[in-house]
Amino acid sequence: MATPGDLEDSRLQQLLIQQLQSFHRAGVRQLPRAAIFPSAVPPGKPDHPPATSLSPVPEMRPTPSPENALEELELLRQQVTACTLCEDLAASRTQTVFGVGNPHARLCFFGEAPGRDEDRLGEPFVGRAGKLLTDIIHKGMQLQREDVYILNVLKCRPPGNRNPSPTEANCCRPFFERQLEIIQPEFICCLGTVATQNLLQTRESIGRLRGTVHTWQGIKVIATYHPAYLLRNPAAKKDTWEDIQLLMREMENTAGDTV
Ligand code: SF4
């Protein structure tokens, strides 16, 4: 049975999470240690790590401009590589899988998490499902993989390819949000339930979310099935093709000078 002390701890934890979420919405990506754990800073010591150290959460940096997207992505990649926030994932991963593609892409494909092949090679969507995604991009949309940007909710492989836990997805959220903030795409195509629900912060099923245009942070979002699902259920390819056609129509209707 929970004691009053347990309940108080749980309430405090909830308040702390709410406070951090509100900082995050305001664009704050790093807090001085003293702001969170005042007693952890010995008198006379600096309250923040040296500028060269890597933080497990994206550092507070100015809103990126397109000119330095490559550099900002590289800085973020270094933080992801050093991240051990999800202890189990950090211990079992071969490497982190950051993302790949055009740093100025109009379109980002947003998936769930690295699988075995991605964990081995360090690139998202490189297994069988990745080949199907490449076909969608290349044969379906007449684009190259290098024209778009591909990233996942999680940067580390969940063992056994299980779904990311809500805690893991929340831990990794600042990384993918910052990635998207740097790239500034006009469109995001969410692949599957996990990616769509995490981006849009909803519990609606993919069946209800697909087929319409959503908006996240001013970016148009289209949801469709994950390529791994299509491999298991080829009949759903027809629905995905409809979603991709919707995406293509939206892209054609919106002026843009880069792919
Ligand atoms: S999944 Fe994301 S938050 Fe968790 S350890 Fe990997 S990089 Fe860090």
What 8-state DSSP symbol labels residue 104?
Answer: T
For residue range 147-192, list pLDDT tens digits in order. Answer: 999 999 999 999 998 999 999 999 999 999 999 999 999 999 999 9
One DSSP character per residue, 113-139 reads: ---HHHHHHTSSS-SHHHHHHHHIIII
The domain total for the chain is: 1
In a domain, 16, yes or no: no
Q: Which of 77, 79, 86 to mutate to test the pocket of ligand 1 (most atoms within 8 A of CB)?
A: 86
CATH number at residue 214: 3.40.470.10
C-alpha 138 – ligand 1 centre gap (Å)? 30
Q: pTM for the whole thing? A: 0.78
- Residue at 258 is within a domain: no
Q: Are 41 and 151 in contact (CB under 8 A)?
A: no
Confidence of residue 34 (pLDDT cuts 50, 70, 90): very low
Q: For the segment 61-120, what is each residue's pLDDT rounded down to a tens digit?
A: 667 777 899 999 999 999 999 999 999 999 999 999 999 999 999 999 999 999 999 999
Ligand 1 atom 6, closest CA: 156
Helix (H, G, I), strand (E, B) or coil at 36: helix
Nearest atom in ligand 1 to 113's CA: 1
- Please tell me the residue having the least CA distance from ligand 1 atom 2: 172
The range of the structural domain enclosing residue 133 comes to: 64-253
pLDDT tens digit string along 194-219? 999 999 999 999 999 999 999 999 99
Residue 3 in this model has a pLDDT that exceeds 60: no
Q: Which protein residues touch ligand 1 with a CB less than 6 Å away?
A: 80, 83-86, 89-90, 96, 154-156, 168, 171-172, 175
Q: What is the pLDDT of residue 254?
A: 87
Ligand 1 midpoint to CA 82 (Å)? 9
9: pLDDT strictly greater than 70: no
| Domain membership flag for residue 200 | yes
Mutate to test the pocket of ligand 1, among 76, 78, 79, 96 (most ligand atoms within 8 A of CB): 96
Nearest CA to ligand 1 atom 8: 83
Flag whether 245 is in a domain.
Answer: yes
Say which residue, 80 or 52, is predicted with more confidence: 80
Query: Is 32 within the bounds of a domain?
Result: no
Instruction: Name 152's bridge partners.
Output: 111
Q: Is the residue at 223 inside a domain?
A: yes
Q: How far is CA 134 from CA 3, 16, 128, 131, 183, in A?
A: 54, 42, 10, 5, 20
Q: What are the residues whose beta carbons fall under 8 Å from the beta carbon of 222, sequence distance 6 or more? A: 187, 188, 189, 190, 210, 213, 214, 243, 246, 247, 250
Residues 219, 186: contact at Cβ < 8 Å?
yes
pLDDT class for 255, splitting at 50, 70, 90?
Answer: low
Looking at residues 29-55, what average pLDDT do you find? Answer: 36
Mutate to test the pocket of ligand 1, among 55, 80, 94, 165 (most ligand atoms within 8 A of CB): 80
User: Residues 118-137: what's their mean pLDDT?
Assistant: 98
Examine residue 38 and state whether it is found in any structural domain, yes or no. no
Sign, CA torsion 209/210/213/214: positive
Q: Is residue 237 in some structural domain?
A: yes
